[in-house]
């Protein structure tokens, strides 16, 4: 069970690194425009805000990697909890899909970490 928990935590960290890249570097590029269904003018106008959001996703990923490297279960649970909260908030304010892309993987990782 420990291996499954580690894989799930690493997966959530990898997702947030991907979100960082999308929001910080690809927001105005074709992949970012397609992923977030953005109008190019809106993407250009909001790219600084998106980069800031990407940075926060990077902090979540860094916290999860740090928790994994140290074998620090409380740190893993803290950062996974932050991801769940962010995912629920995003689902409520932006789109329901965020619940499944962000919150659900983190919730599954929390369950696996607690069972390990």
Mean pLDDT of the 48-62 span: 97
* pLDDT bracket for residue 39 (50, 70, 90): very high
At 79-96, the pLDDT tens digits run: 999 999 999 999 999 999
* pLDDT bracket for residue 97 (50, 70, 90): very high
In this model, does residue 1 exceed pLDDT 80? no
Angle among Cα 113, 17, 11 to the nearest 5 degrees reads 30
**In terms of Cα–Cα distance, which of 25, 30, 33 is closest to 54?**
25
In this model, does residue 112 exceed pLDDT 90? yes
Q: What's the chain's average pLDDT?
A: 97
């Amino acid at each position: 069970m420990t291996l499954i928990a580690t894989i799930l935590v690493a997966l959530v960290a990898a997702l947030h690194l991907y979100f960082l890249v999308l929001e910080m570097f690809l927001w105005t590029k074709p992949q970012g425009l397609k992923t977030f269904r953005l109008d190019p003018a809106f993407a250009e106008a909001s790219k600084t805000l998106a980069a800031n959001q990407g940075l926060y996703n990077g902090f979540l990923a860094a916290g999860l990697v740090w928790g994994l490297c140290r074998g620090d279960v409380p740190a893993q649970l803290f950062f996974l909890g932050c991801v769940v909260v962010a995912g629920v908030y995003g689902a409520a304010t932006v789109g329901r899909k965020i619940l499944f892309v962000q919150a659900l993987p983190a919730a599954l990782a929390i369950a696996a970490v607690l069972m390990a």
